[in-house]
Chain A
């Protein structure tokens, strides 16, 4: 039980309970429904208090998976995901997931057990300074020193994680504070302040740049989805007709059928998108941060463009590129106020649209082998607007970004900033638990899936409706591609010729699985995947020589795209 019997009250009629019971009770009071975690010594008091609580605890098989699953749930809901682990190795195993959430601005609350306060700093068993280790990758962090501080600290963690630009917040819980008795006071619901509003002057400044522009481009970033500004961005696109490109995180912000949407920019972006940016005379960067994978060689990125930078996070303005107008504040509000009236950009718009058609991807690959881009396109179109992809990292991740259709940005779960292999399977589990009626597909590779393959057990245990599409090229494909193109074909440690039979592996976990080899098997495989009601794995053997195109070589300008 989470609370002791009602008779045990203090002099102010507050229920007496342990710190651990207060942790659970506070999470319940804050409306948390599901947490992901793994027990161990220092966090055992919390696991004791979880028995009989209203919280659904998902037992993962590696703490990293808890952080990735919580991350995916948070991306879908906009509310902080919660993960829980013990001290020492439990806490260090969370770090990759914390870094992932930090890089992609995902709201997350991380609860770690810690050795008792008296032992902290003595190199005690399973003691690591997770507070110190996580400092560069958290939005904020706290160590709770008194049991009675637990409710307020956890509430504050949620508020910080979700307000403004979201991010992960770590709360370290020494075991003695979890075991101490305290008088519980309900933490008020976490409240996040309304985001600040951009100044009128900054909007006016941007409008004058917009009216003068002849080749404007809207450069959309992940901040649009985080700022609940997807509809505002789509309205802006429709109102202005400005050609638009998206970062990896902003895929799905534009309606996939929008005529002026040119696709992803950057290293594996479309030629139409990169050419538009390079030729633009005004770049409206909205919720993006001039990441190097998007910009290529920074001093040759959009070389003729004046810059309007819109961001809720003031610290992003001018970080990597000087700006001509800075709009600091709520993107939804700012996009609505950015109304310049008629823009004389017809010829520019036509040029961009023509290029979009001219350089559209073609899916008529020769041969009878499975062509991964074609498979992914067909899969997402068949699944429809309910399609949610949880990607791993590598070639398949870029193929998903290039070829899948996403109705909403939240439906594209990808480790963008960190690029963490191993994200796909636990993220898919987190997503499918949150959206059991959607078509959640983990798209993974033979390298990535091995980073968290133990989570097949989690998928099986909870009967998670997750479809796993494993594109197996028996190699670390993206590294192999770079070695082929940029390291004189000096192939080093990329050959995974001795992979296990993944379908057999899945079946040994109790997960339905099948293998396909040829293109004519693809429609049946897609149907079988999408009709599954429990976990299922489709093992697809693809050509190891297949590369991701187009490609901007590292250190080059986005104008220098390589094609097949």
Chain B
């Protein structure tokens, strides 16, 4: 389980875009808190769990590139959050 905090512009569809990205990239949203917007900005705090071997570090960067997302913060140190994936290792194994 990871804690993640996101600063989000309060624009139409921003929240659903953010949440659908978290789920689509392989994380379960265990709990969620959203503040009322102040000056057009809202704070989201969530506890999320990866469904498989997914890196929180990669998710953080995937969320950061969304245009409504102003900041992403993971209280856990990045090297722990990313499952300390050693260089050269595949980070996602999908049997096909």
Q: Which residues of A contact B (CB under 8 A)?
A: 131-132, 135-136, 139-143, 145, 160, 292, 298-299, 301, 305-307, 313-315, 317-324, 554-555
Interface residue B13 (Cβ < 8 Å from any Cβ of A): yes
- B61 engages A317 (CB within 8 Å): yes
**For residue A142, which residues in chain B have a CB less than 8 angstroms away from its CB?**
12
Indicate whether A321 sits within 8 Å of B13 (C-beta atoms), given known contacts A135-B20, A555-B95.
Answer: no
**For residue B66, which residues in chain A have a CB less than 8 angstroms away from its CB?**
140
Select the residue from B55, B58, B95 with max chain A CB neighbours within 10 A. Answer: B58
**For residue A301, which residues in chain B have a CB less than 8 angstroms away from its CB?**
90
- B13 engages A131 (CB within 8 Å): yes
Interface residue B3 (Cβ < 8 Å from any Cβ of A): no
Closest Cβ neighbor of A328 among chain B residues? B61
In the assembled complex, the Cα of A298 lies from the Cα of B17 at a distance in Å of 29
**For residue B12, which residues in chain A have a CB less than 8 angstroms away from its CB?**
131, 142-143, 145
Query: Other CB < 8 Å A-B pairs besides A298-B92, A321-B88, A322-B88, 10 of them?
Result: A132-B13, A135-B20, A136-B20, A139-B67, A298-B90, A298-B93, A307-B87, A314-B64, A317-B58, A321-B91
Partner of B13, one of A143, A307, A315: A143
Interface residue B7 (Cβ < 8 Å from any Cβ of A): no
Q: Enumerate B61-96 residues with CB–CB distance to A below 8 Å.
A: 61-62, 64-67, 82, 85-96
- B88 engages A292 (CB within 8 Å): no
Smallest CB–CB gap between A205 and chain B, Å?
11
Indicate whether A320 sits within 8 Å of B64 (C-beta atoms), given known contacts A131-B13, A141-B13, A143-B12.
Answer: no
In the assembled complex, the Cα of A136 lies from the Cα of B25 at a distance in Å of 10
- B96 engages A318 (CB within 8 Å): no
In the assembled complex, the Cα of A299 lies from the Cα of B58 at a distance in Å of 18
**For residue A319, which residues in chain B have a CB less than 8 angstroms away from its CB?**
55, 58, 91-92
Q: Can you name 15 A-B residue pairings with CB atoms under 8 Å?
A: A132-B16, A141-B13, A142-B12, A299-B90, A314-B61, A315-B61, A317-B58, A317-B61, A318-B57, A318-B85, A319-B55, A321-B90, A322-B85, A554-B96, A555-B95
In the assembled complex, the Cα of A314 lies from the Cα of B65 at a distance in Å of 8
Closest Cβ neighbor of A298 among chain B residues? B90
Cβ-closest 5 pairs across A and B: A298-B90, A315-B61, A324-B87, A315-B62, A322-B85
Q: What is the predominant secondary structure among interface residues of chain B facing chain A?
A: loop
Q: Which residues of B contact A (CB under 8 A)?
A: 12-13, 16-17, 20, 24, 55, 57-58, 61-62, 64-67, 82, 85-96
**For residue B88, which residues in chain A have a CB less than 8 angstroms away from its CB?**
305-307, 321-322, 324
Closest Cβ neighbor of A165 among chain B residues? B65
**For residue A321, which residues in chain B have a CB less than 8 angstroms away from its CB?**
88-91
**For residue B20, which residues in chain A have a CB less than 8 angstroms away from its CB?**
135-136
- B61 engages A320 (CB within 8 Å): no
- A140 engages B67 (CB within 8 Å): yes
In the assembled complex, the Cα of A555 lies from the Cα of B94 at a distance in Å of 9
- B85 engages A320 (CB within 8 Å): no
Smallest CB–CB gap between B96 and chain A, Å?
5
Partner of A135, one of B17, B58, B86: B17
- A315 engages B65 (CB within 8 Å): yes
Smallest CB–CB gap between A149 and chain B, Å?
11
Smallest CB–CB gap between A168 and chain B, Å?
13
In the assembled complex, the Cα of A305 lies from the Cα of B82 at a distance in Å of 21
Partner of A292, one of B86, B87, B91, B94: B94
Smallest CB–CB gap between B10 and chain A, Å?
14
Smallest CB–CB gap between A120 and chain B, Å?
11
In the assembled complex, the Cα of A314 lies from the Cα of B62 at a distance in Å of 8
In the assembled complex, the Cα of A270 lies from the Cα of B89 at a distance in Å of 24
**For residue A315, which residues in chain B have a CB less than 8 angstroms away from its CB?**
58, 61-62, 64-65
In the assembled complex, the Cα of A305 lies from the Cα of B90 at a distance in Å of 12
Partner of A322, one of B17, B61, B91, B96: B91
Smallest CB–CB gap between B60 and chain A, Å?
9
**For residue A318, which residues in chain B have a CB less than 8 angstroms away from its CB?**
55, 57-58, 82, 85, 91
In the assembled complex, the Cα of A315 lies from the Cα of B93 at a distance in Å of 18
- B13 engages A135 (CB within 8 Å): yes
**For residue B87, which residues in chain A have a CB less than 8 angstroms away from its CB?**
306-307, 322-324
In the assembled complex, the Cα of A145 lies from the Cα of B85 at a distance in Å of 45
Closest Cβ neighbor of B84 among chain A residues? A322
Smallest CB–CB gap between B18 and chain A, Å?
10
In the assembled complex, the Cα of A496 lies from the Cα of B94 at a distance in Å of 33
Indicate whether A299 sits within 8 Å of B93 (C-beta atoms), given known contacts A315-B61, A315-B62.
Answer: yes
**For residue A306, which residues in chain B have a CB less than 8 angstroms away from its CB?**
87-88
Closest Cβ neighbor of A295 among chain B residues? B90
Smallest CB–CB gap between A200 and chain B, Å?
21
Smallest CB–CB gap between A296 and chain B, Å?
9
In the assembled complex, the Cα of A199 lies from the Cα of B67 at a distance in Å of 24
In the assembled complex, the Cα of A288 lies from the Cα of B67 at a distance in Å of 23
- A555 engages B96 (CB within 8 Å): yes
**For residue A140, which residues in chain B have a CB less than 8 angstroms away from its CB?**
66-67
Smallest CB–CB gap between B90 and chain A, Å?
4
Smallest CB–CB gap between A86 and chain B, Å?
21
- A160 engages B61 (CB within 8 Å): no
**For residue B91, which residues in chain A have a CB less than 8 angstroms away from its CB?**
318-322
**For residue B64, which residues in chain A have a CB less than 8 angstroms away from its CB?**
314-315
In the assembled complex, the Cα of A174 lies from the Cα of B81 at a distance in Å of 43
**For residue B95, which residues in chain A have a CB less than 8 angstroms away from its CB?**
555
